A and B are shown apart, each in its own frame.
Chain A
Amino acid sequence: MLLVTADSIDPDALRKRLCDSAAGAYVSFEGWVRDENEGQTVLRLEYEAYEPLAVKEGEKILAEARASYPILHAACVHRTGVLEIGDCAVWVGVASAHRDAAFLAARFIIDALKVRLPIWKKEYYANGDSGWVNCEHCAGRNHSAA
């Protein structure tokens, strides 16, 4: 399951979806909104996604994880919209018989989705500036990276 949603993420509810009597391990990753980036104080974030392709590419990443590691279930939810400091921006969960596969698959999934999903992050700073992350050359970026 790969979900892109404007609703807040509930990790406890998501965890229950992966329960399986054959699972001896469960690993989850939560990405939280942090109050600092590259020396700038961050007030909030805004995520934009192109959902049709984000879901398609995300399902491909989950399928790759299932093909590469002996896991039972893998799922991911990514937020869109405005998020405040401390909010959960992304959740990844993996259930497997043994812990090694769950750790490795969770790491693979979060690393892959950060570089492959058509999702963009705009940071709003305490000094009134804002900027799209990873977009150093964009004309619309109105602050220089520290």
Chain B
Amino acid sequence: MKTITVRYFAVFRENAGTTAETLTADVATAADVFEITRERHRSAEPAGHCKVAINDELATWQTAVNDGDTVLLFPPVAGG
């Protein structure tokens, strides 16, 4: 089991009703974290449209997560 801090932005923040929460779960990758949060907050946004960062570094869904990491979940971006 790992304890992960998850931070939410934009529509993910609105869906979750919070900017961050702590997960304690058996997760190996960023994708595992995303799946748990999708189920918990009933988000239908596919991972392919989203981005992820771990401890303030952009990552991929296959990037391993470690105990104590902060995972940032970014919904589809729309700058400009």
Residue numbers of A with Cβ under 8 A of B are 31, 47-50, 52-54, 56-57, 78, 89-90, 110, 113-122, 132-135, 137-141
Contact = CB atoms under 8 A, between A and B. Distances in A.
A110 B51 contact: no
Nearest to A78: B79
Contacts of B76: 132, 134-135
Given A48-B9, A118-B51, A141-B11, A53 B56 contact: yes
A118 B44 contact: no
Contacts of A110: 80
A57 B77 CA distance: 13
Contacts of A49: 79
A137 B79 contact: no
Contacts of B42: 139
B80 A140 contact: no
Given A135-B45, A139-B44, A140-B11, A50 B72 contact: yes
A65 B53 CA distance: 23
Given A48-B9, A137-B44, A116 B77 contact: yes
Contacts of A50: 9, 53, 72, 74
Given A54-B79, A90-B80, A137-B49, 12 more contacts: A31-B80, A48-B9, A49-B79, A53-B56, A53-B58, A89-B80, A113-B80, A132-B10, A132-B76, A132-B78, A134-B76, A134-B78
A140 B78 contact: no
Contact of B77 (A89, A117, A138): A117
Contacts of B79: 47, 49, 54, 78, 90, 113-115, 117, 119, 121
B40 to A, nearest CB: 12
Contacts of B67: none
Contact of A119 (B43, B46, B49, B78): B78
Contacts of A139: 11, 15, 41-45
B74 A132 contact: no
A55 B52 CA distance: 16
